[in-house]
Structure 1
Amino acid sequence: MGQLSSAVCQRSVMFPAIEHPLSPALTRGCPDTSTADVAYPAEVGYDYAAVPRELFAPAPAAGLDRWAPLLPPLAAPGLGEGGTPLLEIADGLLVKDESRNPTWSHKDRLNRCTTSAAVAEGAPGIVVASSGNHGASAAAYAARAGLPCVVLASAGAPPAVASFLAAYGATVLAVPEEARWPLMRRIVDELGLHPVSNLTEQHTGHAWGPEGYKTIAYEIFAERGGVPAAVFVPTGYGELLFGVWKGFQELHDLGLADRVPRMFACEPAAGGPLSRALAKGVPAVRVDVGPTAAYAIDSAVSGYRGVAAITRSGGAALLVSDEEMAAAQRELAGAGLWQELSGAAGLAGFRQLRDVEGPVVCIATSSGFKDLGVGATPPEPVEPTWEAVEARLRAAGF
């Protein structure tokens, strides 16, 4: 349990000697000093003598830097990635909200590590094939490291992602999806840029990248003082799934944790290459992907990382529909967490398996701002009369 609050009252900002009880909260200023012309705000007063001195004692480095001994050399400067909140939204159901990272997704943990490789190797820049979170994050970490960044993207990138790329000064090449990877390999071979996304037909990925995801496991363990029973992970290529599993496995190998949680991959039902690979007992497969709005995880290919995480943890791959993800997205929003559709896949998977005993953690990967079409529909205007406003509110159930 955290420290008890030292708050004792509310008081006028203009006249601090005028105090009011701590509750109810004053939402219209100080009632004793405000006038019709001036609303003097209120503030909270504290018993400062009761504030523990150790509250301000030096703490370990935050974010990924705290875990540097278990990561590749962090040669690239960070952006404060990691240290995201772990929120209990129901009894025994926790959500790790990765939208709180610098570019609003889990990819920041990966790109701190991959950009570090580029810096350590003296690469003249980095290149990434992505129309979503990965590209936005790579552009940010390249900018932070003073490196140019080339992003092979599609013309239909979400508005928020396009804005990120423009802000960071990335060179964006909008090409058909099937042309991305051949062009990326050519850029690497001829210009020497460092690739921070996949280059192979089946997904192998950057060796350093998933190491950054291990820190999610470290943070969960450090905050909870133990290991959850299961972790549900939105899954495309399986790098996040693998990284989180590896982090827990390391904790077990170091003698800090008594077990490793079961890992559940949550893939769009429109594709599901990891699920297919596990069913066939093969390292990886390619599938045809049907229509889905979960663009961030609609992968046609899987990689062996995902198979390893599932089989070694005794978990499973779950297929979730767009409707199930949308329901999970609404549930998270009802708890104050706005996730993109793909980011809600973990909770959607958990809702399929109601017999999993807790505590369980659902990884929520990215902000709802990253969804396609966000911002395209403005709110319907309402006449600024009480009659019109009251009618709208009554219709909303007030």
Structure 2
Amino acid sequence: MTANSTLATAQRSLGDPTIRYPLWPALTMGCPQTSTATISYPVEVDYAYDSVDIALFDPGYAAAHAISPSAGIERWAPLLPPLNAPSLGEGGTPLIELEPGVFIKDESRNPTWSHKDRLNRCTTSAALRAGASGIVVASSGNHGAAAAAYAARAGLRCVVFTAEDTPPAVDAFMHAYGAVVLPVPVADRWPLMHKVVEDCGLYPVSNLTTTHTGHAFGAEGYKTIAYEIHADLGVPAAVFVPSGYGELLYGVWKGFAELRRLGVTGAVPRIFACEPAAGGPLSAAVREGVPATEVAVGPTDAYGIDCSVGGYRGVVALRESGGRPLLLSDNELHAAQRELASSGLWAELSAAAGLAGLRQCGDMEGPVVCVSTSSGFKDVSVGLHTSEPVPPEWAEVRRRLRSAGIDA
């Protein structure tokens, strides 16, 4: 299957779905007709849904069409933007039953250990189609690492404007792929991105607008999470999603909405947005009844979803699915992270927000899925703590074992 297998036809405004744009060029600053100085409306990709062969969702489809597992999300190419960039084998992550009726979609199994690989396969593809020599991104973590990897795979340069307090492990990750990593104050990242786009001709693969719109093609990659959950489980009662700007939230909802539209399923799960209580722009937008808003952000260890600005995609996903936003304390996030670790799943603190959201809601009729977005390797505390050396005498080893609750 090739990039030409896509059934993508156009870009459509979420601000006014009657407004359509050609598929190319991909819009990197939202809908120019409906956006204002204070609210930016995203666009989404539209498809020739009447031409979709629903056998795409049959278990044997990939084998019948000679699609290798190493092709990654190309398994779903008809319902994705053109995939011009080479794959790193993204997608196909496991769905793990944590307890009866509760499943973890473990996105840390992607090539750069996060869900952002799905997005960057799509956005890097757009950069290649545009003839760009490189890409530029603003990110303090997963997005920057994934962008650097997919740029390297595609033979493009990558510039990452990152935060000054980016975890050392994440910084090393981005450098490993040859990215130009520029730590700057957070508020300066987006103006500097604009300058790189304007003066250097690099292609933007993260947000450039007042409220979040992001790249038109990015959230499309996240739909494949919904397709995979359906293939493994059917339609769950609810999906709990760690949420920052709301792109992942929207992508998961849209994937399930497409399955219903195509007649593959008859329902869409409720989608819950799981945000740190230190910020929560989506919760604020829903509470205030506005498309998107900006909030003050307090201290939190969940740096991956610690956003001051939201976007309209998240509002759409919650409204259309009958879901709601949840605000989570760092204590709730750490408890969920420990629970995952006790079952053998090492999640970044931000990634544990899905499970933390479920625990805050209490028992739900299942099945339910909690998306875990990335590896604990990327947390702020990684590399800061080491085990205390133990003298090699049995008495001291036994004391340490006993202090850990092990009979010796």
* TM value normalised by structure 2: 0.82
RMSD: 1.2
Q: Which residue of 2 aligns with 1:379?
A: 387
Judge conservation of contact 1:131–1:157 (CA < 8 Å) in 2.
yes
- Structure 1, residues 339-390: CA drift from partner, whole Å, max 9, x if none? 0100000100000111421100000001001001201111011111111111
Match of 2:302 among 273, 294, 301: 294
Q: CA deviation at 1:285?
A: 0.6
Match of 1:176 among 178, 185, 191: 185
- Aligned partners of 1:267 and 1:176: how far apart in 2? 23
Q: Does 1:333 align with 2:341?
A: yes
Aligned residues: 342
Judge conservation of contact 1:277–1:285 (CA < 8 Å) in 2.
yes
Q: Which residue of 1 aligns with 2:198?
A: 189
1:128 partner letter: V
- Report the 3-state secondary structure (helix = DSSP H, G, I; strand = E; otherwise coil) of the residue aligned with 1:114: helix
Q: Does 1:61 align with 2:68?
A: yes
- Aligned partners of 2:276 and 2:105: how far apart in 1? 20
Q: Does 1:152 align with 2:161?
A: yes
Q: CA deviation at 1:61?
A: 3.3
Q: CA deviation at 1:310?
A: 0.1
Q: Which residue of 1 aligns with 2:369?
A: 361
Q: Which residue of 1 aligns with 2:16?
A: none
Q: Does 1:266 align with 2:240?
A: no
- Structure 1, residues 169-215: CA drift from partner, whole Å, max 9, x if none? 11111111111101101111222111110001110111100100000
- Aligned partners of 2:403 and 2:91: how far apart in 1? 42
1:276 partner letter: A
- Structure 1, residues 69-124: CA drift from partner, whole Å, max 9, x if none? 11001000010100001000101000000001011100000000000000111111
User: Runs of at least 4 residues of structure 1 off by over 2 A?
Assistant: 57-63
- Report the 3-state secondary structure (helix = DSSP H, G, I; strand = E; otherwise coil) of the residue aligned with 2:326: strand
Match of 1:219 among 228, 232, 246: 228
Q: Which residue of 1 aligns with 2:29?
A: none
Q: Which residue of 2 aligns with 1:6?
A: none
- Report the 3-state secondary structure (helix = DSSP H, G, I; strand = E; otherwise coil) of the residue aligned with 1:231: strand
Ranges in structure 2 where 5+ consecutive residues have no aligned partner? 1-59
- Report the 3-state secondary structure (helix = DSSP H, G, I; strand = E; otherwise coil) of the residue aligned with 1:151: strand
- Report the 3-state secondary structure (helix = DSSP H, G, I; strand = E; otherwise coil) of the residue aligned with 1:223: helix
- Aligned partners of 1:180 and 1:166: how far apart in 2? 18
- Structure 1, residues 112-155: CA drift from partner, whole Å, max 9, x if none? 00000001111111000011100011000000000000000122
Q: Which residue of 2 aligns with 1:28?
A: none
2:316 partner letter: A
- Aligned partners of 1:377 and 1:271: how far apart in 2? 27
Ranges in structure 1 where 5+ consecutive residues have no aligned partner? 1-53
State the percentage of identical aligned residues: 69
- Aligned partners of 1:359 and 1:68: how far apart in 2? 28
Judge conservation of contact 2:105–2:369 (CA < 8 Å) in 1.
yes
- Aligned partners of 1:174 and 1:326: how far apart in 2? 27
Structure with bigger gyration radius: 1
1:280 partner letter: E
Judge conservation of contact 1:95–1:364 (CA < 8 Å) in 2.
yes
Q: Which has the higher contact order (CA 8 A, sep 6+)?
A: 2
Match of 1:124 among 125, 133, 154: 133
- Aligned partners of 2:163 and 2:274: how far apart in 1? 25
Judge conservation of contact 1:126–1:148 (CA < 8 Å) in 2.
yes
1:379 partner letter: S
Q: Which residue of 2 aligns with 1:349?
A: 357
Q: Does 1:239 align with 2:236?
A: no
- Aligned partners of 2:381 and 2:283: how far apart in 1? 29
1:192 partner letter: G
Judge conservation of contact 2:119–2:220 (CA < 8 Å) in 1.
yes
- Aligned partners of 1:379 and 1:357: how far apart in 2? 41
* TM value normalised by structure 1: 0.84
Q: Does 1:285 align with 2:300?
A: no
Q: Which residue of 1 aligns with 2:173?
A: 164
Judge conservation of contact 1:159–1:373 (CA < 8 Å) in 2.
no
- Aligned partners of 1:387 and 1:166: how far apart in 2? 44
**Worse overlay, 148-157 or 83-92:** 148-157
Judge conservation of contact 1:289–1:299 (CA < 8 Å) in 2.
yes
